[in-house]
Amino acid sequence: MRGIEIGMAVADGALADDVRRAAAAAARSVIDIDRGRPRACWASAAGLVLDLGAATAMAEAARAGGLPRRDGVAIVAAEAGMAELAAAVEVGAAQVFVLPAQVRDLARFLAAREQDDGARSRVVAVLGGHGGAGASVLAAAVAVTAPSRGITALAVDADPWGGGLDLLLGCADAPGLRWGDLALRGGHVPSDALVAALPGRAGAVAVLSSGGSGGGGPRDAARGTPSPEIPVEGLLAVIDAGRRSVGVTVVDLPRRDDPATSACLEVADTVVVVAGATVRGCAAARTVVDGVAARARRVGLVVRGPAPGGLSARDVERAVGAPLLASMRPQPGLAAQLDDGGLRLRRGTPLAVAAGRVLESLRRGAA
């Protein structure tokens, strides 16, 4: 298993060496932050160590709504001037450490980050490789399957024009918060309070979806007006809350490259692309995978039957260019079941097996 990870964005080689020395003393591992993809480490690392340039860039991203506030952030510098102090305030850093003089102080700071590691769970984003691929159904199935493996789950509907995960999961009429309610609160809800306030199934799957299910997109809970965008800061805050309070967060993404989708692709541990076993499905899914791969940490493929032209799952894997996580044949009666109270999975059915393999791939990816 990986150790507790500290994200580092420090350009100066000597400063970076000092940070690594402090991390080693604190028994923490260091991962370099890709400055082109800062959200990934921002969301998942137990702590962050930034230089002035990185802190300034991340503060700008936070102002633009691209990053939520978080704790466990430190700034390092050879000298601490007004610029460093101002950046610390803006990015929410706890302290500015002057290195190498304060290496021991930095080590103590990093050692205190241990509480964030065990509490942070896995995030999987599910995306259709083409229209009608069945991504939302797979996302719902992964969330429903998780409790049978002893994993609590949060299902997040990030597709503002989809049919609604609450309908798929059979809790559309259940009381609880929807996206419109969170928007009224600025997108920030404490993690335990968030999960407790959401509708769900049997206490093991919480669901955050659009208000007014069955309509054409999410609706503001107070005004009943359409709200066609999921807020970036709100989505990232919800994902972070999921990391801290449930075993797996499953995000159903739309097939469009809006800011919220882009942010989720960067912070998810795995992005699952769902594709049908057809030539046109392969071509469309290849385009999606090519666009996702540059931003995602890890991309996997789920192939859904039927295969009218005889394409195998391995044929689709080669054509799409993403590693195969699972394939599934059509599941008889699924559409009727979804219209009659929501998804109910029996062990051994094609959808349940595919969902289980996605969860297993998350476990292997954490090893």
What string of DSSP letters covers 207-236?
EE--SSTTSSS-B-TTT--B-----HHHHH
Choose one of 58, 81, 112: the last residue of a domain: 112
257 pLDDT higher than 80: yes
Choose one of 78, 112, 146: the last residue of a domain: 112
Report the candidate in 135, 124, 166 with the shortest Cα–Cα distance to residue 269: 124
d(CA 128, CA 361): 18
Instruction: For residue 117, name the pLDDT band (cuts at 50, 70, 90).
Output: very low
d(CA 246, CA 80): 39
d(CA 241, CA 30): 23
Same domain, 130 and 252: yes
Q: 203-239: per-residue pLDDT in tens?
A: 679 999 975 443 334 444 433 444 567 888 788 888 8
Q: How many helices (H) and strands (E) does the chain have?
A: 16, 13
Containing domain of residue 101, as a range? 5-112
Contact 357, 363 (CB under 8 A): no
Same domain, 76 and 155: no
Q: How far is CA 165 from CA 59, 218, 254, 335, in A?
A: 33, 12, 12, 14
d(CA 270, CA 143): 14
341 pLDDT higher than 80: no
Q: Is residue 190 part of a domain?
A: yes
Same domain, 257 and 336: yes
pTM summary value: 0.71
CATH assignment at residue 64: 3.40.50.2300
Report the candidate in 4, 107, 15 with the shortest Cα–Cα distance to residue 55: 15
Greater confidence, 164 or 316? 316
Q: What are phi and psi of 202, to 5 degrees?
A: 55, 25
Contact 40, 34 (CB under 8 A): yes
Contact 342, 169 (CB under 8 A): yes
Contact 249, 209 (CB under 8 A): no
Q: 287-314: per-residue pLDDT in tens?
A: 999 999 988 989 999 999 999 999 999 9
d(CA 343, CA 337): 7
Choose one of 88, 112, 136: the last residue of a domain: 112
Give the chain's domain count: 2
How confident is the model over 62-79, as a mean pLDDT?
78
126 pLDDT higher than 60: yes
Same domain, 316 and 208: yes
Same domain, 95 and 129: no
Same domain, 168 and 306: yes
pLDDT given for residue 248 in this prediction: 96
Across the chain, what does the average pLDDT equal? 84
Cβ partners under 8 Å of residue 332, min gap 6:
none
CATH assignment at residue 350: 3.40.50.300
Same domain, 227 and 338: yes
pLDDT given for residue 123 in this prediction: 94
Same domain, 89 and 133: no
pLDDT given for residue 94 in this prediction: 77
Write the single-letter amino acid at 73.
Answer: V
